[in-house]
Structure 1
Amino acid sequence: MWSGNRSGGASSWEGGGAAGGGSPGPAGPLSRAPPFSPGTYERLALLLGGVGLLGAGGNLLVLILYSKARRLRTPTHLLLVNISLSDLLVSLLGVTFAFVSCLRNGWVWDSAGCAWDGFSRNLFEKSSSHKYIYGAF
């Protein structure tokens, strides 16, 4: 079976070939079947787009309300603003890569895009203190 890992080259088969020590892989060209059907990618894009829009809109609303209403400027609300800003960044920068990939029926970014996607989601989630508020370390 083809593992999908490109580290062994385009003709590597999992558990086969000269480097694998087993029997050679099947004859013929390798085909990369997409993991999901096109309809599933459309539904995932719709879901991710909705989550991104709702997340961005709701968190922008929180930030605008905090900046306009002076009575909301308390230390507790500042903590909520920190969470809202972090979630806004995840909604804008974290969801974008997966959304575009779903629109194009597969991951379209290179390894740097993959690294940025994982780094940005992890950074923005860790910069928020909501995990410590709710007790989920």
Structure 2
Amino acid sequence: MYSGNRSGSQGSWEGDGPAGAEGSAPEGTLSPAPLFSPDTYERLALLLGSVGLLGAGSNLLVLVLYYKFQRLRTPTHLFLVNISLGDLLMSLFGVTFTFVSCLRNRWVWDTVGCVWDGFSSSLFEKSSSHKCICDAFNIYC
């Protein structure tokens, strides 16, 4: 039984055609259909790339300014540096897997990649994004 997030009209059952057709999957398996159009994947990749670059650049700037200027080293600013470091790591490690997958129009990583994507999102502060991303690519860890 298929337990994905697609309705019956979005996926197609393989094996519905003539028996013994070349390349057909075993009876009753669901053929993965793209969730979005290729143009939508390109727009998502552009958006994720922009968010990743802006996030990495701005958070790196915060860390450099904190390191360079002695008067910024206060306990309150240390909390901001902590948040900035988490955002920087999320921009580098959390967005990369989804960005590459959007460039390829499908989830290109295996189960370990899906687990790493969820772990890095949880570790670097965005714990709810893992399920949404894996569901969007029909990956069930």
**TM-score, normalised relative to structure 2:** 0.70
| Unaligned segments of structure 2, at least 5 residues | 6-12, 18-23, 25-29, 127-141
Other structure's SS at 1:36 match: coil
Aligned residue for 1:45?
A: 45
Aligned residue for 1:102?
A: 102
Aligned residue for 2:80?
A: 80
Distance in 1 (CA, whole Å) between partners of 2:82 and 2:44 is: 29
Aligned residue for 2:114?
A: 114
Aligned residue for 1:18?
A: none
String of CA shifts for 1:75-120, please: whole Å, max 9, x gaps.
Answer: 0001100000000000000000000000000100000000000011
Alpha-carbon shift at residue 27 of structure 1 (Å): 1.9
Alpha-carbon shift at residue 3 of structure 1 (Å): 4.8
Corresponding pairs, count: 108
**TM-score, normalised relative to structure 1:** 0.72
Identity among equivalent positions (%) equals 77
Distance in 1 (CA, whole Å) between partners of 2:50 and 2:94 is: 14
Other structure's SS at 2:96 match: helix
Distance in 2 (CA, whole Å) between partners of 1:61 and 1:3 is: 44
Q: How does 1:17-36 map to 2 (within 5 A)?
A: 27-28=16-17, 29=24, 31-36=31-36
Alignment-mate amino acid for residue 27 of structure 1: D
Misfit runs of 4+, over 6 Å: none
RMSD: 2.2
| Unaligned segments of structure 1, at least 5 residues | 6-12, 14-24, 127-137
Name the larger-Rg structure: 1
Other structure's SS at 1:125 match: coil
String of CA shifts for 1:1-55, please: whole Å, max 9, x gaps.
Answer: 96559xxxxxxx6xxxxxxxxxxx8623453210000000000000000000000
Aligned residue for 2:9?
A: none
Aligned residue for 1:67?
A: 67
Structure with the largest fraction of helix: 1
